Amino acid sequence: MMTSLRIGLIGLGSVGKGLFDIIQSRPDLHVEIKRICVKDLTKHRDVPASLITGDVSELINNSEIDAIVELIDDADAAFAIASAAMRQGKAVVSANKRMVATRLHELIALQQETQQSLLYEASTCASIPIIRNLEEYYTNGLLTSVTGIVNGTTNYILTRLTSAAGSNFGYIDALGEAQEKGFAESDPTLDVEGFDAVFKSTILAKHAFGALIDPSTVIRRGIAQVNAFDITFAASQGFVIKHLAHIEERNSNELSVYAMPTFVLNSNPISWVSYEINAVRLATVAPDAQLLAGRGAGGISTACAVLSDLSMLRHNYRYTYRKGLGGKGPTLSNDVTVRAYVRGNEAMINSVPWIQRQIDVRSIEANFVIGSVNLQALADSPAFRDTDTFVGMWSSE
């Protein structure tokens, strides 16, 4: 174990500043911040001016820096920084989910080529130790599925809609409230449309099952279409609507992956996870399941995950990627029968190539079908692309 870890910090937003503050107040962590690179040098910052630079190469080429902590938004810039740092013999800690999800194949090759460690616990559900557990605990091939509430914005909105059922409080109100409280961005598209959940689903798929999956191929629907009828109907059947990232092993060669609103039984512990809290459910063949929960975003929670990665770097820790080594991981296959709920007009409901309709309702309140359908065929149907139709998965657990 090295005695102290000397880091270069890139990005001083809420995560970077949170990390800076904890490290300054805790010398027992044995982490020393040697230099901080920021974009806007004119902005006032509550850190010693001598640490600040606007030139990233001053960190990457600094022989007194052991590891680069990269906390910027731009995925391409983050990738350029990570690769340059690793090639300069430095470990890298990143919180950038888009970079990890879209460049994972290259990032794994870079780690092998440079023999440097790249850790990114913070990229997926912030302080929930999910990647470490998938790497170190769920290693015996008994995992069958990984299901996550991986986005706090959608969970906050759906929780508020559920608790407000029966009132006039609707999707737009819940989104506004989430924005006020800092749980949603001013442009919430990435979150409410499920893009964020897709990125995290592919990172989970790699560490859970060894599968390298292109995020653009993951089946995705957001929550903007959910309404009071859906929420109330779910409750009447003993279900709660959650937006879930779901990765399931179909056989040893194939996985199905989607990020979708899902009706979950209220006896399933993941249905209890409310407001902005995230959770990941790990199911095994036994059958058995565990749930890891915590804050999935926010400066302090993300900084904590980065700190945990830094403390592992002091122990020379690297991800082994032992699942799917040598490109032998499972591949994506959505040719599987699932159960779905589709509410919309007659034409849209009928555009879904149902295998069997289990419930088929036309009423003044709503027209909807719950039935079995091929997952890929559902994703290819006009209903799935229609912005007035609500499409959700109907889970048996």
Question: Can you give the C-alpha Rg of the chain in angstroms?
Answer: 22
Site string for a copy of itself, 261-280 (x = CB under 8 A): ------x-x--xxxx-x-x-
Whichever of 147 and 225 has its CB closer to a copy of itself, that residue is 147
**Helices 171-180 + 152-163 axis angle, to 10:** 130
Whichever of 222 and 296 has its CB closer to a copy of itself, that residue is 296
Whichever of 281 and 343 has its CB closer to a copy of itself, that residue is 281
Select the span of 9-17, 93-101, 216-224, 309-317 touching a copy of itself (CB under 8 A).
309-317
Select the span of 55-63, 221-229, 302-310, 340-348 touching a copy of itself (CB under 8 A).
302-310
Q: How far is the CB of 314 from a copy of itself (least distance, A)?
A: 9
Whichever of 189 and 320 has its CB closer to a copy of itself, that residue is 320
Q: How far is the CB of 252 from a copy of itself (least distance, A)?
A: 9
In the window 103-132, what residues touch a copy of itself (CB under 8 A)? 127-129, 132
Q: How far is the CB of 303 from a copy of itself (least distance, A)?
A: 7
Task: For residue 171, give the nearest of 182, 183, 156, 185 by alpha carbon.
Answer: 156
Which residues, including other chains, have CB under 8 Å from residue 278's CB and lie 6 or more apart? 125, 126, 128, 148, 149, 150, 151, 152, 155, 293, 294, 295, 296, 297
Q: Which of 53, 61, 62, 284 binds a copy of itself (CB under 8 A)?
A: 284
Task: For residue 158, give the nearest of 228, 233, 217, 53 by alpha carbon.
Answer: 228
Q: In this structure, are residues 256 and 334 in contact, taking their beta carbons and an 8 Å threshold? A: yes
Q: How far is the CB of 286 from a copy of itself (least distance, A)?
A: 5
| Structure tokens that stand for 275 in this block | 């407001």
In the window 1-30, what residues touch a copy of itself (CB under 8 A)? 18, 22, 26, 28-29
Whichever of 288 and 365 has its CB closer to a copy of itself, that residue is 288
Q: In this structure, are residues 151 and 196 in contact, taking their beta carbons and an 8 Å threshold? A: yes
Select the span of 46-54, 166-174, 175-183, 304-312 touching a copy of itself (CB under 8 A).
304-312
Instruction: Count interface residues toward a copy of itself (CB under 8 A).
Output: 47
Whichever of 61 and 311 has its CB closer to a copy of itself, that residue is 311
CB-side neighbour CA atoms (13 Å) of 319: 30
| Active-site residue, from 90, 97, 200, 242 | 200
Q: Which of 292, 361, 366, 377 binds a copy of itself (CB under 8 A)?
A: 292
Site string for a copy of itself, 60-99 (x = CB under 8 A): ----------------------------------------
Whichever of 179 and 308 has its CB closer to a copy of itself, that residue is 308
Site string for a copy of itself, 142-171 (x = CB under 8 A): x-----------------------------
Instruction: Give the Cα separation of 334 and 298 in Å (integer).
Output: 33
Q: How far is the CB of 289 from a copy of itself (least distance, A)?
A: 6
Whichever of 75 and 277 has its CB closer to a copy of itself, that residue is 277
200 given a catalytic annotation = yes
Instruction: Show which residues are catalytic.
Output: 200
Residue ranges in contact with a copy of itself by CB under 8 A? 18, 22, 26, 28-29, 127-129, 132-133, 136-142, 267, 269, 272-275, 277, 279, 284-295, 300-301, 303-304, 307-308, 310-312, 315
